[in-house]
Amino acid sequence: MKNVPLYLEGEFVQSQTDQWIDVTDPATNEVIAKAPCTTADEMTRAIESARKMFHIWKETPVSERARVMMRYQALLKENHDQIAEILSSETGKTFEDAKGDVWRGIEVVEHAANIPSMMMGETVENVARDIDTYSITQPLGVCAGITPFNFPAMIPLWMFPLAIACGNTFILKPSEQDPLTPMRLAKLFEEAGAPKGVLQVVHGAKEQVDRLLTDPVIKAVSFVGSVPVGRYIYETGTRHMKRVQSLAGAKNHMVILPDADKQQVINALVGASVGAAGQRCMAISVAVFVGEAQRWIPELKQAMAAARPGAWNEAGASYGPIISRKAKEKIEHLIGRGEAEGANLLLDGRGCKVDGLPNGNWVGPTLFSGVTEDMEIYKEEIFGPVLSCMEVDTLGDAIELVNRSPYGNGTSLFTSSGGAARRYQHEIDVGQVGINVPIPVPLPFFSFTGWKGSFYGDQHAYGKQAVRFYTETKTVTARWFSSDAQAETNFSIRMR
């Protein structure tokens, strides 16, 4: 067991706090590290260091900033498996799942290496006689990121590489439940040649988050997490005159038409519902079967029953444990509520056991049918390996059902009809749509575009929208009064 350091002014230092948070292995509930609650003085040090460094870093040529990202992505690739092992040890994710987490973050760093083209402004010559107008893209200042437990590599890498590539400095407050992975990312960023003070990493809980949300030095805050916290982050940050992008909860629906490929549907539903133990904001938690497709539910049950949780390095394990005992208890409570409210509990994951790991936070695959909109298991984001099946008569009914949901993070449609797919993607009020793709997370040259109650803000995460979020536009209108004749005269005088 070790104490997790802070990363301040380019140095890994031990906090002087007397408040520590246990970091546990969710497969055993053993304490593997302790994360500090950063003191007020240490928070001041981080913010002041980032403020001072911004005035230096923003003057660094954009091509040099891009080269730091090139070196960083090379180091991330070289250390890919090692990062994934650290990630697995503190989250319980299977090794393959952890590697995917790391790789999706690397893709964003690769995108950040293209920052020169994304920082280009616009120019119009002769907007009036002898007057030109052009726009310049400039960084904001000190930015901050508050990241969740479920993707401790990918989501920090969504944030600080792009913000820093734009010329900002950055303060990262990762989840206190799995801080070891972000600290390894910070170490590699240092090795890539990032100047001291460009990135700071602090730890803690609400007190430390509130400091980031209220300190006037910080200009923008990025967040990923639950709905209640996401709303709080957005309301508090904007009240203190900051830019905020707050990615919150989800209840993602997958709509299945009878003309879809049945086996593809079943495979997709199992992976998208129980993968990562359902602990991802793009997991499919509601399957909407249209018409005759309802007959496939028994085969879905059989396929889900074959999935089983296990240790991160156990061959054949479909997914790992729930992140904490508290989270496991919430999931099991909601399963009980669904049963009490009259849903058909086809698979019950409560009381799940894994050989050799009796103290882990295990929940088995859970499947409901006959779920209705008034049930708690439909309204709540369960964040576990629980899939609710609903039945409707037509595609139009399915669209209306999905559009009534207060969430709009992701959705998918499985069909062989191009016309149905075109109608669905056009009419659905959801930010990310998959057609025969269960989890439509875009690559980083697009943006992560949740809608409705799944996102609070104006500019979305990574991609071109993130560059706009982390920068400001300055417009210059220029006129020069020297005539051609006068310019030639001045040139002749200088040459004598």
What is the amino acid identity at position 487? A
Q: Is 281 a catalytic residue?
A: yes
At residue 337, φ and ψ (nearest 5 deg) are -65, -40
- Residues facing 13 on adjacent strands: 6
Question: Which DSSP string do the residues of 281-321 spell out, in sequence order?
Answer: TT-EEEEEEEGGGGGGHHHHHHHHHT--B--TT-TT--B--
Contacts (Cβ under 8 Å, ≥6 apart) of 156: 105, 145, 147, 172, 174, 182, 185
The encoded tokens of residue 140 equal 């904001």
Q: What angle do CA 224, 427, 288 make, to 5 degrees?
A: 70
Q: What is residue 421's three-state secondary structure?
A: helix
Q: What is the rounded CA–CA span in Å between residue 329 and residue 283?
A: 20
Catalytic residue among 37, 166, 281, 389: 281
Contacts (Cβ under 8 Å, ≥6 apart) of 300: 266, 269, 270, 287, 367, 389
Q: What is residue 385's three-state secondary structure?
A: coil
At residue 393, φ and ψ (nearest 5 deg) are -90, -35
Distances from the Cα of 249 to the Cαs of 85, 383, 433, in angstroms? 27, 9, 16
Q: Residue 241 has what DSSP assignment?
A: T
Q: Are 118 and 139 in contact (CB under 8 A)?
A: no
Contacts (Cβ under 8 Å, ≥6 apart) of 230: 223, 246, 247, 248, 249, 456
Catalytic residues: 281
